Structure 1
Amino acid sequence: MNAHLSTLIIRIAGGDTAFAKLIGLDPSKPGVQQRVHNWKSRGIPSAVVLENYQAITALKNQVTPST
């Protein structure tokens, strides 16, 4: 997923911490928030998108609603 769309999805989710929780990561563990933050410039990895397809698709639809 490209970096721009990833940034919008993470923002819609409520930020780095909220997105981490949404996809089942523990934001209190070392490095988790930084990892999610890095996805804003690198893009959310394909494996993460596939593992959390429904949640990420729902957020993506809020960013780019189908017409």
Structure 2
Amino acid sequence: MLNLVSIVIGFVTLALGLIAFVPLLGWMNWLVIPIGIVGAAIGAMSSSNGGRNMNLVLIVIFALRLMLGGGII
């Protein structure tokens, strides 16, 4: 059950993160990354690894986007 909750949080993170890829909306990554961290933490408590891994990949992708944009853009 926790894995399913983690996957749902991951999809919410993905949807918000795709919006943050639009130029001048990179600041949204500061909001998206903590949501992914919560999803990864919930996924770590489950017996399956799918939700945790999905959230970790999303965190890395959006952190790279944040670094490429200089932290703001």
TM-score scaled by length of structure 2: 0.28
- Asked which structure has the greater CA Rg, the reply is 2
TM-score scaled by length of structure 1: 0.29
Greater helix share, structure number: 2
